[in-house]
Chain A
Amino acid sequence: MNETVLQMRGISKKFPGVIALEDVDFSLQAGEVHALLGINGAGKSTLIKILSGVYQLDSGEIYLGGVSVEINNPQKAKELGISTVYQDPQMIPSFTGYENIYLGSESDSRSVFRLVRRREMRKKANKLIEKYPFDVDLNQKVGKLSTIEKESIAILRVMARENTKILVLDEPTSILSRKEIDILFKQIEILKQYGIAIIYITHRLEEIFQVADRYTVLRDGKNVGTDNVVKEIDKNQVAEKMLGEKLSKVYPDKSADPGEVLCQIDKLGLNGKFNNINLTLRKGEIVGIYGLVGSGFDELCKTLFGVLRPDEGKFFINDEEIILRTPIDALENGIFLVPGDRRIEGQILNESVSFNVTLANLENVSSVFGLIRDAKENRDAKGIIERLNVKTNSAKTLVSKLSGGNQQKVVIGKGIYTNSDIYIFEEPTVGVDVGAKSSIYHLIRELSVDKAVVVASSDLEEVYGISDRVLVMYKGRVIIDKPVQQTNLEEMLISGLTGVVNG
């Protein structure tokens, strides 16, 4: 089992102005899961892209099974048995699982009419699933499947190429719920039995203890350590390696005394999504809402921001009832939502940082006839960039050029620029690396000093770590609502997963 399938030696790669990788060594053994760790920009994806033929290395050597190889395009990587499953695998929703697996190889070039040979495809698919017993129905249309089932099909699609020896999983768990993550881990075990070597990329430190055999940490394009995963490893030690300095406290201090009540939500309900939600938001207090994906917190956040209309319940700000029909109403009433899906709901990718920052409060940078005051806009955007420590060349840089964490900061910056009274953060740190995560938490705390803040997330530790008061949602109901000191991670986890509250 201890045969080395891949060896990368002295890999270097330069981009204009940046050294992405510098003299990196990396090795992989058959049947092992090797976690590749590093904050955004550390060089993980560059390394993987070199391995999968997307980028060409500047110097260094790659050996597969002891033989020196040159991987100059993605096709070559596939021929050599190197396959990658990306975080959000693209599939055709109206095709079934097996049709997606054999997409592109449906017809037999020998047959005259190049007909799609369904029967044969299904036979092959059955054989495949016998070999890798994943719990997924291949006859179902992919559009109807859950995320983990889609992920399973993506993996099967790769394994259908019989020469696959090396599998790269690029942040496979970023869009999975906890239950689904466990399913994925079982599937990884199955793959290991067949001697498949797996490179596992993740942000989530705790996962490597569950799934990886070895780990390698990249920092600033250098390999800063490869080690076996043993039970006694100190998480902080690994995190320190990733960050390069002593990990400052990830979560800020709790608030001592919440201030006056700003907003009261009374028996809010939306059919089929959530019901009977009561919420009191105070200045200086962070209310955390924990729930699984689908527990209703997403819809709740969108309702509080006027994107969705509630079926019942009332909403008071400063004891005055308000009705939110659109996000415009919400913004006028001093409410801002940092949405859960940054890419789709949060940012205009092809526009500049300053464009995005001022978008929700254009009034503030315009004069008569709506003319934009360029100087003020530039100044204000720079102020936000400085305050949030956004890493960008200038305020005119396109958001698409920033890393995930900095993109999220731009969305938060847009919120800060509206100078709202109530901030709702939904999944504030999805796709954000450890370093940026912590600064976002401190930012949220800073913001909460004279504002009311809600943080809704499926990240248990995050909700527990940041909040003064926690709510746990399960199937549209709030089943726990207490000060954070009176609960613990275990209680929150169990109630969030099962809906059962102890005592």
Chain B
Amino acid sequence: MAKFNKIFTREVISLVLFFFILGIVLAVFSILSPRFMTVDNMLRALKHLSLTSLAALGLTFVIAVGHADMSFHFVSCFSAMTMSYFIGILEWSPVPSILMGLLGGLVFGLINGFAVGKFKLPDMVATIGIGTFAWGLAYLYNKGNYIYQNFLTSGIINFSDGNWQGIPYPVIYLFVLYFFAYIILHRTKYGRGFYAVGGNRIAAKFSGIKVQHYIIAAFVLSNVLASFTNMVLTAAQGNGNVKGGLILLMPAYSAVFVGVSVFKKPTIIGTFIGAFLISIMQNGFTLLSAPFYIMDLVVGLTLVLSIIISRLEVRKNLNKTVIAIQDGITD
């Protein structure tokens, strides 16, 4: 009996439950659309998955340190427009343009990180403010108009549509970045720092953890990865569009919190399976040519449900009070 209890821990049960739900989703779409279960479509779904999941990957670190980031989708618009500007208007080649875009993500990640980590501004409000500012800046590049010059000729399309041995680049980005993120968060001492800060930042401080560094690092990761994602998206679309990155917000949150509801805390694998669920649903609805708002509806609902599940037993009220006290004490 004891052994039985040991095998069927809560994690295992919720994983089984998760795959059960995933199975139902797959089954429903397969029945509704014959094209759903084809190799072609699965590869497309995987490519789509890479976009949802990379933004969610960065967000995982922010949630791990106990904060929220409401800016990464805005910042990603700024970065993608920066890249587009360097390619389309200044006629730079793709790689340096991509680096300039990533630099934009880095700068805003640092700004967010300092605002929340060092100056203790409330995360939600501060990141919405900073993100909106970044979005405003994105408009300045071309007065809010599309930038499409040189997109076809500069080779930037390859950033998204290229492949290596038949594997699309985005899928490679997905696995490489997830692999490194997994190693960092779950296999190194730095990962311990993120969780310690999120678990109890005063105790972390008393244990010699550089609390502010971890918060700043989390926001940098979130903003840079979201920027990267949107740049791939922009390359795929063949033009820079100030609103291109806005769609990243909800799927990223849903993916992370589906993961939290399965594993009790933000984890790389959790985020991955969360993103998988979300993009399968998005793919399925696209095949069914459902109107776009159905997607919003489902993604939003998934987020709310997963938060309810994770709230039920994860991070009980205690942690909230600890965080409240911490905000008053840490310098």
A: residues with CB less than 8 A from B are: 16-17, 305, 307, 326-328, 330-331, 337, 339, 343-351, 355, 358-360, 362-363, 365-366, 369-372, 414
The residue in A331, A339, A343, A362 that gathers the most chain B C-beta atoms within 10 A of its C-beta is: A362
Q: Which 6 A-B pairs have the closest CB atoms?
A: A362-B189, A348-B199, A370-B188, A360-B207, A331-B208, A359-B207
A404 shortest CB reach to chain B, Å? 14
Neighbouring A residues of B200 by C-beta, 8 Å: 344, 347-349
Task: Determine whether the beta carbon of B207 is less than 8 Å from that of A414.
Answer: yes
Task: Determine whether the beta carbon of B192 is less than 8 Å from that of A372.
Answer: yes
CA distance A372 to B195 in the complex (A): 14
Task: Determine whether the beta carbon of A351 is less than 8 Å from that of B207.
Answer: no
Question: Which candidate, B53-61, B168-176, B226-234, B319-327, is the interface stretch facing chain A?
Answer: B319-327
CA distance A327 to B210 in the complex (A): 9
CA distance A345 to B200 in the complex (A): 8
Q: A327-B207, A344-B202, A347-B200 are in contact. Are A369 and B188 (CB under 8 A)?
A: yes
CA distance A106 to B196 in the complex (A): 41
Q: Which residue of B lies closest to A342 (CB)?
A: B203
B174 shortest CB reach to chain A, Å? 22
Residues facing A in B284-317 (CB within 8 A) are: 315
Which of A17, A327, A331, A370 is within 8 Å of B2, CB to CB?
A17
Neighbouring A residues of B38 by C-beta, 8 Å: none
Neighbouring A residues of B196 by C-beta, 8 Å: 348, 351, 355, 359
Which of A348, A363, A370 is within 8 Å of B203, CB to CB?
A348
Neighbouring B residues of A349 by C-beta, 8 Å: 199-200, 318-319, 322
CA distance A349 to B66 in the complex (A): 14
CA distance A372 to B185 in the complex (A): 11
- Could you give 7 example pairs across A and B, Cβ below 8 Å? A326-B208, A328-B210, A345-B206, A346-B206, A347-B200, A349-B318, A370-B190
Task: Determine whether the beta carbon of A344 is less than 8 Å from that of B203.
Answer: yes
Task: Determine whether the beta carbon of A351 is less than 8 Å from that of B206.
Answer: no
Task: Determine whether the beta carbon of A371 is less than 8 Å from that of B203.
Answer: no
Task: Determine whether the beta carbon of B208 is less than 8 Å from that of A344.
Answer: no
Neighbouring B residues of A365 by C-beta, 8 Å: 189
Neighbouring B residues of A307 by C-beta, 8 Å: 205-206
Q: Which residue of A lies closest to B318 (CB)?
A: A349
B165 contacts the other chain (CB 8 A)? no
Task: Determine whether the beta carbon of A359 is less than 8 Å from that of B315.
Answer: no
Task: Determine whether the beta carbon of A370 is less than 8 Å from that of B265.
Answer: no
CA distance A432 to B181 in the complex (A): 40
Q: A372-B187, A372-B188 are in contact. Are A355 and B195 (CB under 8 A)?
A: yes
B197 shortest CB reach to chain A, Å? 9
B290 shortest CB reach to chain A, Å? 39
B: residues with CB less than 8 A from A are: 2, 5, 183, 187-192, 195-196, 199-200, 202-210, 264-265, 315, 318-319, 322, 325-326, 329
Q: A366-B188, A369-B188 are in contact. Are A350 and B204 (CB under 8 A)?
A: no
CA distance A350 to B198 in the complex (A): 10
Neighbouring A residues of B192 by C-beta, 8 Å: 355, 358-359, 362, 372
Q: A346-B203, A351-B196 are in contact. Are A328 and B208 (CB under 8 A)?
A: yes
Q: A355-B195, A370-B189 are in contact. Are A350 and B315 (CB under 8 A)?
A: yes
Task: Determine whether the beta carbon of A344 is less than 8 Å from that of B322.
Answer: yes
Additional A-B contact list (8), CB under 8 Å, known A327-B205, A370-B188, A372-B191? A331-B208, A337-B206, A344-B326, A348-B203, A349-B319, A358-B192, A359-B196, A372-B188
Q: Which residue of A lies closest to B186 (CB)?
A: A372
Neighbouring B residues of A414 by C-beta, 8 Å: 207
Q: A344-B200, A344-B322, A348-B203 are in contact. Are A327 and B208 (CB under 8 A)?
A: yes
Neighbouring A residues of B322 by C-beta, 8 Å: 343-344, 349
Which of B5, B188, B209, B210 is within 8 Å of A371, CB to CB?
B188
Q: A17-B2, A344-B322, A349-B318 are in contact. Are A372 and B189 (CB under 8 A)?
A: yes
CA distance A347 to B2 in the complex (A): 29
CA distance A16 to B189 in the complex (A): 35
CA distance A78 to B169 in the complex (A): 64
Which of A337, A344, A355, A362 is within 8 Å of B325, CB to CB?
A344
Q: Which residue of A lies closest to B193 (CB)?
A: A362
Neighbouring A residues of B195 by C-beta, 8 Å: 348, 351, 355
CA distance A369 to B188 in the complex (A): 8
The residue in B183, B190, B191, B264 that gathers the most chain A C-beta atoms within 10 A of its C-beta is: B190
CA distance A363 to B208 in the complex (A): 11
Neighbouring B residues of A337 by C-beta, 8 Å: 206
B15 shortest CB reach to chain A, Å? 17
Neighbouring A residues of B189 by C-beta, 8 Å: 362-363, 365-366, 370, 372
Q: Which residue of A lies closest to B314 (CB)?
A: A350
Task: Determine whether the beta carbon of B206 is less than 8 Å from that of A305.
Answer: yes
Task: Determine whether the beta carbon of A359 is less than 8 Å from that of B209.
Answer: yes
Neighbouring B residues of A358 by C-beta, 8 Å: 192
Q: Which residue of B lies closest to A364 (CB)?
A: B189
The residue in B203, B209, B265 that gathers the most chain A C-beta atoms within 10 A of its C-beta is: B203
Task: Determine whether the beta carbon of A371 is less than 8 Å from that of B199.
Answer: no
CA distance A114 to B148 in the complex (A): 61
Neighbouring B residues of A345 by C-beta, 8 Å: 202-203, 206
Task: Determine whether the beta carbon of A327 is less than 8 Å from that of B188.
Answer: no
Task: Determine whether the beta carbon of B199 is less than 8 Å from that of A351.
Answer: yes
B33 shortest CB reach to chain A, Å? 42
Q: Which residue of A lies closest to B317 (CB)?
A: A90
CA distance A114 to B265 in the complex (A): 42
B192 shortest CB reach to chain A, Å? 6
The residue in B195, B199, B329 that gathers the most chain A C-beta atoms within 10 A of its C-beta is: B199
Task: Determine whether the beta carbon of A350 is less than 8 Å from that of B187.
Answer: no
CA distance A196 to B221 in the complex (A): 59
Task: Determine whether the beta carbon of B265 is less than 8 Å from that of A350.
Answer: yes
Q: Which residue of B lies closest to A362 (CB)?
A: B189
Q: Which residue of B lies closest to A346 (CB)?
A: B203
A475 shortest CB reach to chain B, Å? 23
CA distance A261 to B319 in the complex (A): 42
Task: Determine whether the beta carbon of A350 is less than 8 Å from that of B199.
Answer: yes
The residue in A17, A305, A343, A359 that gathers the most chain B C-beta atoms within 10 A of its C-beta is: A359
Neighbouring A residues of B329 by C-beta, 8 Å: 344
Neighbouring A residues of B206 by C-beta, 8 Å: 305, 307, 327, 337, 339, 345-346
